[in-house]
Amino acid sequence: EETMKMLQEIDSPDDAESWVKDRLARKQKIMGFGHRVYKKGDSRVPIMRELARQLGRRFGQEHWVPVCERLEAVMQREKQLCANVDLYAAPVFHLLGIPSELNTPIFACSRVSGWCAHVIEQHEHNRLIRPRSLYTGPARRVYQPRGQGKGPKL
């Protein structure tokens, strides 16, 4: 939803660089960039970009892809961040007539079968599936009743 609002605000590839630099100067997040897993680039982006390009041609709204491409170039140069699939999914959904407030629910719908498979697997084995991970948070702390710790007295 926020990605499409951003694209509509920018509207022209010529405005993309100044828009990004302004947001970065104000320490604001730029939607459609970065991914927890795909650090070197999201393999879904080229496919979604081409779909956005084809739909743009079909519906006479070809400016969305050049705006996204300019954003990609600026974000790569300024923050070394690659586009994620949301950058191009937003104009694809928009061009298909899907309201932007449904972007996140549509994404969730695509995950439902996987979530269900996990639940079924957990029920079959009668145990929760927990990913193996290493805790990297703060060290263990001892509970101290209110007013007895080192913090401010409330």
C-alpha to C-alpha distance for 66 and 64, rounded to whole angstroms: 6
**Which residues, 6+ apart, have CB-to-CB distance to 140 below 8 Å?**
none
C-alpha to C-alpha distance for 143 and 87, rounded to whole angstroms: 45
Predicted confidence at residue 52, as pLDDT, reads 98
Predicted confidence at residue 81, as pLDDT, reads 96
User: Reduced to 3 states, what is the DSSP secondary structure of residue 137?
Assistant: coil
Segments of the chain with pLDDT less than 70:
131, 149-154
Catalytic residue among 14, 35, 63, 118: 35
Predicted confidence at residue 148, as pLDDT, reads 76
Predicted confidence at residue 154, as pLDDT, reads 54
Token readout for 59 is 């519906």
- Contact between residue 147 and residue 153 where contact means Cβ atoms under 8 Å apart: yes
What type of residue sits at position 96?
L
Pick the CATH number of 2-98 from 3.40.630.10, 2.60.120.380, 1.10.150.120, 1.10.230.10: 1.10.230.10
Spans of all domains in the chain: 2-98
pTM above 0.95, yes or no: no
Buried b (16+ CB within 10 A) or exposed e, 97-124: eeebeebeeeeeeeeeeeeeeeeeeeee
Predicted confidence at residue 69, as pLDDT, reads 98
Catalytic residue among 42, 86, 94, 118: 86
Instruction: Tell me the Cα Rg of the chain.
Output: 21
* 117-to-35, 124, 129 alpha-carbon distances in Å: 24, 11, 11
Beta bridge partners of 33: 83
Cα three-residue angle 111-122-110, rounded to 5 degrees = 5
- Please say if 35 is a catalytic residue: yes
